Amino acid sequence: YYHAPGEYPYIIMLGYDAYFYDENIKNQLWSRLLQIIGFAVFFILFLWIMRTRMIRPVLQLANDVREISQGKPYAPAHYSGSEEIEELSRQIGKISDYVAENKRIENELRNKMSMLKRDKETARIEKHNKLEFLEYVCQELRAPVNSVITRAQTMRDQLYGPIENRKYHQCAADIYQAGNTMQQNLNATVAELDHSLV
């Protein structure tokens, strides 16, 4: 405040009322301090709500996704977040189901492929064994067929004397013809088997 006395108007006296200004400053400081405290409480409450309703569920969902990517089963938890968080949790559950089904199909396909390879190898070995057996049988049949052909030719040509009955002569010719046909078939079969076994 200031005071100008009447007898000396050109002199102005300045003064300071400490009590008045201290009370005024205290009132202003208290109102500002209460505003700051109220804003801080609001901000802390906002951060706490954000952490419990948004950040923590998102971190938990990220952890769930990491476990799904490592092949662990998804155990859905109840999230107390927003609708978006709950929907994201449901979609992650669907992705987990898809990954599990895909893994099951891959395992089933792998098992079927290994069974198919094993069956194919078994069939190949069995075919090879059958072909070897058939080749052996054909080789063994050659000697008796040659013997039959030789005897039939002897009878047909009547080397040891005439055959009285013409029917025997015709039978010998038929045996000779059938033996030659059988020998040709055996030779063709053996050649084909040799080609298959290679």
3-state secondary structure of 10: coil
Q: For residues 127 and 83, what is the distance between their CA atoms, to the nearest angstrom? A: 65
Residue 176 has pLDDT above 50, yes or no: yes
- How would you label 123-136 residue by residue, b for 16+ Cβ within 10 Å and e otherwise? eeeeeeeeeeeebe
Residue 1 confidence class, pLDDT cut points 50, 70, 90: very low
Residue 5 has pLDDT above 80, yes or no: no
pLDDT digit string, tens, across residues 15-48: 555 555 566 667 777 888 888 999 999 999 998 8
pLDDT digit string, tens, across residues 110-146: 999 999 999 999 998 998 888 888 888 888 888 888 8
